[in-house]
Structure 1
Amino acid sequence: MTKQYYDGPIVDAHHHFWEPAVNPHPWLADDVLIPFRYGDYTSIKREYLPPDYFKDAAKHHVVETVYIDAEWDPTDPTGETEYIHRVAKHFGAPNAVVAQAWLDAENAAELLAVQANYQLVRSVRHKPGGAATPQRAADGERTLMCDDRWLQGYAKLEKNGLHFDLQTPWWNLHEAKRLAADFPNTLIILNHTGLPSDRSAEGLANWHQAMTNFAEMPNVVVKISGIGLADRPWSIEDNRWIINETISIFGTDRAMFASNFPVDSLCGSFDTIFSGFKLAVRELPYEEQHKLFCTNSRKYYRTQNLKP
């Protein structure tokens, strides 16, 4: 098939909706500002619902979306799931959900069973924490992926037919590789490209090696998203190599594009980011581009068309 700039349907594999004035997101409260990889995020502490999202995405043919948990009050994890299903029923989006689940909680088994019973829930996310720098990881600091109680919760994912969305920097991927090996029937979906924030030659080489090692596991896939840089506008010049190397490492059957909106609006417009994705892969056969923008997200998240 003739190579061309992608103009087909998009299934956005990672985004958020929220209403900070009424929803219990601790990090979005007016008087809270947590350390954040993009710096000051005050500008996204605003209502963001499907009409806002589709206005941002207007230049691109987004047909379905995947909602990712947004760190709702951890004492009420199903509250967020209830909320986002009401949003989906009213607006026809999102079309799949990654729910909150604290895998080391005493009631983790019961919670996973409840979450899995919701119509749109396909996966859960629990950021495993751990070393904040590569050196601290090298010195032996570990994440919850090495915690026995957390692993007991993780073991319940397969029984409930749930995937696991993993958000962790690349220097913790050796733990994730072991997790994938120990639970081969649970799909791990790596969020935000392994967070390649260090763009020095050494940083990129280490990221590349960690991603290559992780990708050896057959039950892992990756979302290309969240690759903006603090205090720097999103550009294809900064990100083309990251995009193309991720696809080279995982292949076009195990990678998918995502906006991470409204969070990534801190570094670029929806059009800038998705036009950059399209430019980066325009030399690929069109059917391979379609996998990255649409087919893979539908396959892994089993999105539902909610429109009448």
Structure 2
Amino acid sequence: MSRYDGPILDAHQHFWEPDRNPHPWLAPGVRIPFRYGDYEAIKRRYLPDDYRRDAGPHDIVASVYVETEWNPGDPLGETAYAAGLAVEWGLPNAIVAQAWLDRDDVAAVLAGQAACPLVRSVRHKPGEPGSPDEVGRCRTLMSDERWRAGYALLRGHGLRFDLQTPWWNLDEAVDLALDFPDTTIILNHAGLPSRRDPDSLELWRGAMARFAACPNVAVKASGLGQPGQAWAPELNGPVVRTLVDLFGADRVMFGSNFPVDSLCADLAPMIDGFKTIVAPLGPSEQEAFFIGTARRVYGIAAPER
């Protein structure tokens, strides 16, 4: 086995300055339901200098900024902010922008987002069902005709779609992928396999296998933290290896989800853990996982030094 020691493109990370920008969920005194529990520790400035310091010796050459639940009344404001960071710091190198696909202004917002050279994708979390038991009693926005009409506009702008939804909603995502074959769907956070007992992982794997059968999808190995548990290769290795098995390394990409996942791990040891997990893969597969897949899927010209 040979551990990867090359350049890294982080396919999922965030920057923010809650003291100067409108993030309702990061405001003082605000607490929303959060899968990692208490998130007070991340209500602080997090910019590229913090991120590079956290990465330590790892050679991160590019990153994808993912929208941060900025005030939904100003989605283009967040894009302008992220693009300004890129000019000042050299990061990020692509943007997943905010767009509410079922709003009256969706056409104008998508046009405005697509006008920014760094925007490659948009994200709109589709909501319920919130548990496997609710499937069949309610549907996500992926099945809503108004939302789908907004989704249909992505193709004309050459935009991808970043999907964040738990695995039990992926059958709706399969329908979406098949109905819009020219739009790439990038599944965030491995489909959120929050429970790691054998029965839950088997159900997660089945849903992921059905999703992976769609040719126009990819997935991020990101957001794998577990509340109250330290991030460890032993805990997350089975998830990452299943992703590679189902999708192939050419459709799986590394993402740190920092600073959110700083609630579960330090960045440098996390990256080291990912390197340990994928070390049994061949050199080309490791390269795809850490930089090649994200560069191709998001269309990023990242250096290979």
TM-score (norm 1): 0.97
Asked if structure 2 preserves the Cα contact closer than 8 Å seen for 1:92 and 1:305, the reply is no
Establish whether residue 184 from structure 1 lines up as the match of residue 168 from structure 2. Answer: no
Asked if structure 1 preserves the Cα contact closer than 8 Å seen for 2:67 and 2:98, the reply is yes
Partner Cα distance (2:302, 2:241) in 1: 30
Equivalent residue, structure 2, for 1:23: 21
Letter in 1 for 2:289: L
Q: Percent identity?
A: 54
Deviation at 1:140, TM superposition (A): 2.5
Deviation at 1:155, TM superposition (A): 0.2
> Which residue, 130, 155, 159 being the options, matches 2:156?
159
Q: Alpha-carbon deviations, 1:132-183, whole Å to 9, x = none?
A: 110111x331100011110000000000000000000000000000000000
Letter in 1 for 2:237: R
Q: Secondary structure in 2 aligned to 1:98?
A: strand
Structure 1's consecutive aligned runs of 4 or more residues displaced over 6 angstroms after TM superposition are none
> Which residue, 210, 214, 220 being the options, matches 1:213?
210
Equivalent residue, structure 1, for 2:248: 251
Equivalent residue, structure 1, for 2:33: 35
Partner Cα distance (2:229, 2:212) in 1: 29
Partner Cα distance (1:193, 1:30) in 2: 30
Q: Secondary structure in 1 aligned to 2:125?
A: coil
Matches within 5 A, 1:252-291: 252-291=249-288
Letter in 2 for 1:193: A
Q: Secondary structure in 1 aligned to 2:250?
A: coil
Q: Alpha-carbon deviations, 1:57-99, whole Å to 9, x = none?
A: 1221100011000010000000100111111111111000000
Q: Secondary structure in 2 aligned to 1:249?
A: helix
Asked if structure 2 preserves the Cα contact closer than 8 Å seen for 1:252 and 1:292, the reply is yes
> Which residue, 70, 85, 88 being the options, matches 1:87?
85
Equivalent residue, structure 1, for 2:191: 194
Q: Alpha-carbon deviations, 1:225-245, whole Å to 9, x = none?
A: 101101111111111100101
> Which residue, 88, 91, 100 being the options, matches 2:98?
100
Equivalent residue, structure 2, for 1:49: 47
Establish whether residue 172 from structure 1 lines up as the match of residue 177 from structure 2. Answer: no
CA RMSD, aligned part only? Answer: 1.0
Paired residues in the alignment total 303
Deviation at 1:305, TM superposition (A): 5.6
Letter in 2 for 1:164: F
Matches within 5 A, 1:234-245: 234-245=231-242
Note the residue ranges of structure 2 that are not aligned, 5 or more in a row. none
TM-score (norm 2): 0.98
Letter in 1 for 2:5: D
Equivalent residue, structure 2, for 1:141: 138
Equivalent residue, structure 1, for 2:289: 292
Q: Secondary structure in 1 aligned to 2:80?
A: helix
Asked if structure 2 preserves the Cα contact closer than 8 Å seen for 1:65 and 1:93, the reply is yes
Asked if structure 2 preserves the Cα contact closer than 8 Å seen for 1:97 and 1:120, the reply is yes
Partner Cα distance (1:39, 1:302) in 2: 35
Asked if structure 2 preserves the Cα contact closer than 8 Å seen for 1:96 and 1:304, the reply is no
Asked if structure 1 preserves the Cα contact closer than 8 Å seen for 2:9 and 2:302, the reply is no
Equivalent residue, structure 2, for 1:118: 116
Note the residue ranges of structure 1 that are not aligned, 5 or more in a row. none
Equivalent residue, structure 1, for 2:228: 231
Partner Cα distance (2:45, 2:34) in 1: 19
Q: Secondary structure in 2 aligned to 1:233?
A: coil
Equivalent residue, structure 2, for 1:132: 130
